Structure 1
Amino acid sequence: MAEPGRGSEDPNDLDPMTAGARPGCSGLTTKELQKNLKLAKQNERPVRLLFEIPSSRVVEQLLNKHVVYQIVVMRSGSFDSCRVSVERRYNDFFQLHQKLLEEFNEELEDVLLPRKLLTGNFNPESILERRLALQDYLAKLFATRCVRHSAHFSEFFTEHEQKQAHVLLRAGQFTAALELLQTVLEIQEKLLPWQKSTLTVPALSAIAVCYRDLDEPEQAFSAAQRALPPVRRYGLKHYRAALLELLVDLGYQLGRPVAQLQDELTALRNGERGEVCFQSLKEVVIHKFI
């Protein structure tokens, strides 16, 4: 009989006639082997991004009227409970396509951007048709390997919000900036399998600055701590010194052990004298999108 309390076996998953058989041994039934194979295949299912454009709205301004489309970004192949979204105009899609054509003209021969409508732009049927066409366009872009690894692709989903967040940060509106930065970070984390691991560094650094100025040192320390490994790995010296300085200051405030961080900061300052501009993290963040 199986020993009670053994965590490696679940009696509910075993055939009643072979409840004492150990997984991985020759006593596994055909049913168990088929189940294990099915689970293995599920675990190996490739993760990819899905794009939905479930809605749109007409924006009327003083001298302008246009449609904005809500784009939901989510991962497939794994459970993704976070459906994060941004809004983009047709002109944003057009600018993305032009940038991609400049870099990958031959690879995009079969990927066509839906044409701009000359009439009936605000007809509900036309908007619905355009919404579905743009959704299909994003799927085709992602299916093109060079595109999904391109910085232009990730910037399409985050650059607008990131710039807006930095405007708010410079104005001292840290709570509003944080809301946008969290959206940016969530999208960037979904893109990370196909983008450089330094992708999230600017957003995490800006989040750390916002939390510090909101007097929430725990959250500021956590964000800066997450940003540091890729900064170290890829030698982003201006971020590294600023992050280390922030972590040391917050560490003392929170009673965390910071001796190693302090030693690393001192070594960096001594070794890179004259080569690294030692700005505060807030100064680095503010200058990022000026």
Structure 2
Amino acid sequence: MNLSSMDSESLDEDGDAFSGHFQGQLSFKDENKSGNTTTKESTSQELQLDDNNTLLHVGPANIAFEVVNAQVIKDPHDKYVLYSVLLASHPGMDKTPIAIDRRYSDFDRLNTQLRRRFPEQLKKVAFPKKILVGNFKAATVAQRSRAFEQYLSHLFSIDKIRLSPEFAKFFYNTDLTKGYDHICNGQYDEAISLLEHVLNIEKKILGYKHRNVILTLCALLVCHNTMEREKPAQLLAETALHCIGDNDEHPCLIPLLNLSIHLCWKLGKQKADLEERLKKLKEAGFDTNNAPSLLELVVRRFQLK
């Protein structure tokens, strides 16, 4: 972990140093953490190629949380420590590790919300308390960083918390909402940048078959298709269908099949299996002619949030 500009001390709600006193008990690791891990955002094409062999994982992978950098941020009215947290499913091997930047107040807000909703599950989970002095010393920030790593790991191990709206809000909901705003405003490139970031986090936290992962894939597909980028759109459609699997009841299935058939036709790719599945759905009583478009479903998700 890199510690930047840790020589000052002042009072600040985000810079309150870790005092050594915890709500609960926590053991610290002695090993040093390296801050030279490189984060990588995947493009839509890389998404399919990188993950093709692991799409069948229903649940999330085992995620390691590592604070790889802690930097003091100063502006005219505030001073705080910004923690960069790396999420990796297989540390050192993950092709798409991803980092988020959060300050102490973000962690504190998450902790307050979760303790209010899940008091029993968090009764023995430690969280660093605020203190009044020593906010920016390297030693205290390093100790707090280790505490945040173990705190997030403990939260992740509790399914009710991992799948909670509070956990989603901490990790990606702000970017997800911004991405959907861009879609509604026709700003598809801006939406793609945010939604690819969100998708990387959702896959790690929720697993590949979670409905929110599929909906984000569909949102990215809508963006690329609207901009007539058939190749990445087709790869995203193929990935989304793989995630849906045999679930004929999924609301996105028929719109995805219709769009996939169209994209394969434009790209000169084989589409007989897609047409056969659509035919079987029709024979089973599904209305394949009047299904909403994928764009309608994507926008509907945004309107329900």
Partners in 1 of 2:186 and 2:74 — Cα distance?
A: 29
Alignment partner of 1:105 out of 110, 113, 119: 119
Equivalent in the alignment of 1:224: 237
Equivalent in the alignment of 2:28: none
Matches within 5 A, 1:115-134: 115-116=129-130, 123=136, 125=138, 130-134=144-148
More helix by share: 1
8 Å Cα contact 2:209-2:244 kept in structure 1: no
Equivalent in the alignment of 1:185: 199
8 Å Cα contact 1:48-1:77 kept in structure 2: no
Partners in 2 of 1:287 and 1:62 — Cα distance?
A: 41
Alignment partner of 1:208 out of 217, 221, 231: 221
8 Å Cα contact 2:80-2:103 kept in structure 1: yes
Equivalent in the alignment of 1:249: 262
Partners in 1 of 2:143 and 2:205 — Cα distance?
A: 27
8 Å Cα contact 1:238-1:277 kept in structure 2: no
Q: SS of 1:87's equivalent?
A: strand
Alignment partner of 1:259 out of 272, 275, 279: 272
Give the structure with higher Rg (CA): 1
8 Å Cα contact 1:224-1:243 kept in structure 2: yes
5+ residue gaps in structure 1? Answer: 1-46
The higher-RCO structure (CA 8 Å, 6+ apart) is 2
5+ residue gaps in structure 2? Answer: 1-60
TM-score w.r.t. the length of structure 1 is 0.67
Partners in 2 of 1:99 and 1:196 — Cα distance?
A: 27
Q: SS of 2:121's equivalent?
A: helix
Task: Give the residue type in structure 1 aligned to 2:296.
Answer: E
Partners in 2 of 1:203 and 1:242 — Cα distance?
A: 15
- Residue 167 of structure 1: how far off its partner (Å): 1.7
Partners in 1 of 2:281 and 2:108 — Cα distance?
A: 44
- Residue 111 of structure 1: how far off its partner (Å): 0.8
* C-alpha distance 145-260 of structure 1, shift in aligned 2 (>3 A): closer
* C-alpha distance 277-232 of structure 1, shift in aligned 2 (>3 A): farther
TM-score w.r.t. the length of structure 2 is 0.64
Task: Give the residue type in structure 2 aligned to 1:200.
Answer: V
Task: Give the residue type in structure 1 aligned to 2:261.
Answer: V
Equivalent in the alignment of 2:13: none
Partners in 1 of 2:192 and 2:181 — Cα distance?
A: 12
- Residue 219 of structure 1: how far off its partner (Å): 0.8
| Paired residues, number | 241
8 Å Cα contact 1:238-1:279 kept in structure 2: no
* C-alpha distance 148-165 of structure 1, shift in aligned 2 (>3 A): same
Task: Give the residue type in structure 2 aligned to 1:207.
Answer: L
* C-alpha distance 119-268 of structure 1, shift in aligned 2 (>3 A): farther
